[in-house]
Amino acid sequence: MKNSLKIVLLLMLFATIISCKQQQARMPVSRSSGTFMKESVIRNKKLIAGEEGKIDSIIKSNPKIQYIASNKGYWYHYETKNDKDTLRPKKGDVAQFDYEIKDLKGNVVYSEVELRPQTYRVDKQNIMMGLRDGIKLMRKNEKVTFLFPSHMAFGYHGDNKRIGSNQPLICTVTLTDFKPEEKVKTEN
């Protein structure tokens, strides 16, 4: 009996020790290697480099025009410059502008007549990313031509009408007026 009690106690001690052993984590059934993201980054870099190459050839084809590179990744030049005024649209202002959209070959995609007039609440409405930034660079009565790579235009999606996927664009914008939002509310 003493032996059988010792055996039972040893078995219980052994079972306790075994049950306290930590289980190792199982490996996942499938692993993500990250190659899709790496390939996507490479594809996008090639796309942007190709678009910037086309834009660069447009810039170099007419050396008389002084293009300015923005820090946001697009280029622009003034067709009509207003050096008298110093004010530029800021967040909350209501801007009135006309614009025309062309492809990089110079073919009109949307004419100014089709798109006019435009009213835009600066940084409070959703418009093309490049225009959102470009309008804030302009002064009243200025006319500016912008060269937008596709990621600053309508991007991968296009506009579901005439602008295709990943299409860089030329936009000529005339800022006719802008006023603070409060002043526009009191006028209406």
Q: Calculate the average pLDDT of the chain.
A: 89
CA 3, CA 69: separation in Å to the nearest integer? 92
Mean pLDDT for the stretch of residues 21-27: 66
Mean pLDDT for the stretch of residues 36-56: 92
Render pLDDT for 115-157 as a digit per residue (tens, 0 to 9): 988 999 999 999 999 999 999 999 999 999 999 999 999 998 8
Instruction: Spell out the residues 6+ positions from residue 47 whose beta carbon is closer than 8 angstroms to its own.
Output: 150, 166
Hunting for tokens 């059934």 — which residue is that?
29
More confident position, 145 or 7:
145
- Beta strand residue intervals within the chain, DSSP E: 68-69, 75-80, 93-102, 108-110, 118-121, 143-148, 169-180
Output the pTM of the full model.
0.79
How many helices (H) and strands (E) the chain has is answered by 5, 7
